Amino acid sequence: MTRLGILGTGACLPDRVVSNDEAGAAAGVDDAWISRKTAIRERRWAAPEQATSDLAAAAGREALRAAGIGAGELSAIVVATSTPDRPQPPTASLVQQRLGAADAAAFDVNAVCSGSVFALCAAEGVLARCGGHALVIGADVYSRILNPADRRTVVLFGDGAGALLMGPTSARRPRVRHVALHTFGELAGLIEVPAGGSRLPTDRSALDAGLQYFAMDGREVRRFVMSRLPVLTKQFLHEAGVVPDDISHFVPHQANGVMLDAVAAELPLPRARTHRTLTHYGNTGAASIPITLDAAARAGAFRPGELILLAGFGGGMSAGFALVEW
């Protein structure tokens, strides 16, 4: 089989910087409270005219530019998002049009904050069958679905997009060695937007009840992450045929800095450097892993041959792992 590599990365963050005091004002919390609870200091929120597809297309252009690949060479565009521009059409089709990637099949993946790892796996499958190059994009605009009075959620999330360009390479380029995906449907109610689908349309009664907003049981989500992630990580490393000491870098979903500290203490990764962008960008949903990977790559953090563990977790409940050899 042709060797598939990660040929380039990219990211797009909105210009608007939102401080903790601004984000928490309507919820009655300030910078000190938010920093202590989350380790987040600020985040970016999209401008009124910006939608998820705009950020996704911009991140995709950056990844194409980094790889030296034209949009016309794409055979697939996979967008991971749980905040699409609208229920239909797929956000990926709008990205395809903006990039001018006329020959690319384009579709969305929704595994919430694990979405970019799920999309990575889907893109590999497309390339194995169809060849060519695939653009994998994680993009979310959570600021549009947050209840400004809910301190449990409004202080956590930012907007952004991150992208990976995948394709055949004979050179020593980063490659994905192993992927594992998990869903725990019995816990689906822990993270949700209740209204807006076929079960509960967004009618006047739903709007009056605030059911169009993102909702999360933070206590149970933390319990899920703390109990499942260490076990799943050990299982993944065993399946991938590596030992914990082999991992040089850890790029987790940027959910909450305080929770990541607690998780890192429980993970079997004694030599791994944990990479973070949440201090300045907050939780960017499906975008958080590719944004953080791009930031680290552009900073020269990775050396050829080093192993990087990507770990996503989020609504569904879901978890996704990828082992990248740089």
Catalytic amino acids? 113, 253, 283
- DSSP one-letter string for 214-244: -EE-HHHHHHHHHHHHHHHHHHHHHHHT--G
**Other C-beta atoms lying within 10 Å of the C-beta of residue 250:** 21
Whole-angstrom distance, CA of residue 273 vs CA of residue 276: 10
Q: C-alpha distances in angstroms, 190 versus 35, 193, 194, 214, 232?
A: 24, 10, 11, 11, 19
List of residues 6+ apart from 270 with CB closer than 8 A:
244, 245
Q: C-alpha distances in angstroms, 17 versus 13, 287, 321?
A: 10, 17, 30
**Other C-beta atoms lying within 10 Å of the C-beta of residue 298:** 13
Q: Look at residues 290, 303, 287, 298 and name the one whose alpha carbon lies nearest to residue 141.
A: 287
Q: Per 3-state DSSP, what percentage of the chain is helix, strand, and coil (rounded to 5)? A: 40, 25, 35
Helices (H), 257-309: 257-266, 278-281, 288-298
CB 199 within 8 A of CB 47: no
